[in-house]
Amino acid sequence: MLNREEWLPLARKLDWDYTYVREDEVFPQVISGHPWLPHAEWKDWEESFKTSYREYVDNQYEKDMAVYAVRDAIGRLENIQKLAAPWLNSLKVHAAALPLAEFTGVIGSLRGARFGRDSAWRTMSTFGALDEYRHTQIPLLLFHPLVRWDSQFDWAHKFYHTNNWFAVAARHFFDELTTGQNAIEFAIGTNFVLETGFTNLQFVGLASLARESSDHMFERMVTSIQTDEARHAQIGHPVLEVMMKHDPEYVQYLLDKWFWRSWRMFSILTGLSTDYLTALEQRPYSFKEFMEEWIIDQYLRTLDEFGLKKPWYWDIFEDELNIYHHAIYASAYTYRATLWFDFVIPSPAERKWLRQKYPKYWDDMDAVWEQVAERWRTVGPGAANELAVHGSAMPTFCDLCQLPLSAGTPRKNTANVLTKDGRKYIFCSAPCRWIFLREPERYANHKDLVKRVLSGEAPAHLPDLLTEYFRLTPDTWGKDVYHGAYEWLATKKASVA
Amino acid sequence: MYMSIPLYGFLEGDTLGLLMLAEEGETVLQLARKLQDAANIRVPHSDNVDFLYDGKAIDPGLTVVQAGLQALDRFDVIRRHTL
């Protein structure tokens, strides 16, 4: 009988020559991806961490048992109810955005499992699909039962099945990244850029915020997921190595595109949690500091390792680190009824902290918060006054990322209009416009929310839009956690200089 | 009868663009006021503003049509001192 070191290489490298069909019929370019190369070019594909199916099942079983044990020990409702109210809303954001996004990762991984160009790649993708299925189930298991206590947790299941504006943006992102993607672009966009680059935000940064917030169940959940991500993320590197020999310009494009698209999504998911929905005394760092330490340094080192350049938009990206998620949060606060979780106004102490962490543009953001606070002072606190401190005009959205036109700075918004083939499009930023123009056939027919309203597809009247199209109710739509009843707001004008 | 023209409005100091339905016959000054009202929850009102279209300041007395604004164009309302 062969020992592990002898049989594993035989089992994971099981390729053969086709005699009844051509190789390009088995692996059509449209679904295997570009560049199409004969298998001889892929045969040295090698993952750095190798596992067998039996080892995989044993490991996953142990990890699942650990998650169950944590849930039974500290995941009871009384434990959750002890968490700070703003942090609970960070949980609601992730409970909605995470599970079904991970499920689209199952589909993308299965595409790699069938159309990846080497058998070892296909084996790793099979494990990856099983991982992503686990990542769908765990947050649903932990979060959705909380709906009995708080109906906003229903969005753990509901989110992607609605036309809520953030769901439209998230679907646009994940459908392209995973569900509708060929095996090569999935390996680059998901395994290399998102899982190697950005999931550190979730699984290192967020885990540390959860620990600081005494949310050990969430901490354990993301840590458990991270151990899977670290394994299947390694699919990206060997795919990239082969592609670099044949079409480095295309590699550069895919990396630049997916870094930007991932940045847009994670700046909201993680940025809001880090800088607003975690209590000030529990914030170990700012979102920008975390990006610089855990994302940027590592990503630039990896680019350098492969002989790739920084994205052309790097200066724009670095500038956005100072402002983009702040503009999104303030915009979302003043349109909180369009979302399924609650918000807080940063207190004078938090604004002082934000000024220290983000000195470049904070004056502009502080003026916005002062105006919002002034509105609460005028109308007075209380649930009945929520909509008096809320926007009523229709917000606008980017035709590429589908997120609000909040890029640039409050002094100079960078939204730009494009007329193409008789139609008008608007983009929040130069990189979103650039991505659109590289693949207009992919994006041109997608209607953003404004165009859905203008065409009559979505209601124009805001209350109807919220209830009929976003599928919110007065109970579930977002509010101020304290309905404007902040001690600091009642006493005097905030002094945060 | 006037037609409504959907436009993307950006007020200096605001954190997002807003959809503004302009009437053909209204002046750009009226449209600027409308945007200021819509964004007032985030940006205080100011009397001294300029209306920019295609990067150029527009005479506030011109109507939306006279200014050449067309559906889904961008316009900006900025504080005058920044000119």
Domains of chain A, earliest start first: 52-321 (1.10.620.20), 341-392+471-497 (no CATH), 395-459 (no CATH)
Structure tokens at A56: 């995989």
pLDDT exceeds 50 at position A484? yes
pLDDT at A491: 75
Residue from A366, A369, A371, A426 to probe the interface with B (highest B Cβ count within 10 Å): A371
Q: Do A371 and B14 touch (CB under 8 A)?
A: no
Residue in chain A nearest B37 by alpha carbon: A393
- A82-86, A334-338, A394-398: segment of lowest average pLDDT: A82-86
Chain A residues within 8 Å of chain B (Cβ atoms): 326-328, 330-331, 334, 364-365, 367-368, 371-372, 375, 389-396, 404-406, 410-413, 415-417, 424, 426, 450, 453-454
Closest CA to A195 of A140, A223, A221, A234: A234
Phi-psi sector, A453: left (phi>0), alpha (psi -120 to 50), beta = alpha
| Mean pLDDT of the A256-274 span | 95
Residue A75: which pLDDT band, with cuts at 50, 70 and 90? confident
Q: Which has more confidence, A495 or B17?
A: B17
For residue A393, the chain B residues in CB contact (below 8 A) are 18-20, 38-39
For residue B38, the chain A residues in CB contact (below 8 A) are 391-393
Instruction: Confirm if A358 and A288 have CB atoms less than 8 A apart.
Output: yes
pLDDT exceeds 90 at position A37? yes
pLDDT at A139: 93
Residue B80: which pLDDT band, with cuts at 50, 70 and 90? confident
pLDDT exceeds 80 at position A9? yes
What pLDDT, in 10s, does the model give residues A243-264? Answer: 999 999 999 999 999 999 999 9
Strands B18-23 and B4-11: antiparallel
pLDDT exceeds 90 at position A341? yes
| Mean pLDDT of the A76-90 span | 92
pLDDT exceeds 60 at position B1? no
Nearest by CB to B72, from A391, A411, A424: name it: A424
pLDDT exceeds 70 at position A324? yes
pLDDT exceeds 80 at position A493? no
Domain coordinates of chain B in residue numbers?
4-82
pLDDT exceeds 70 at position A388? yes
ipTM above 0.85, yes or no: yes
pLDDT at A497: 44
Backbone angles phi, psi at A25, to 5 degrees: -85, -35
Q: Do B13 and A334 touch (CB under 8 A)?
A: no
Q: Do B19 and A410 touch (CB under 8 A)?
A: no
The domain made up of B4-82 is a member of CATH 1.10.357.140: no
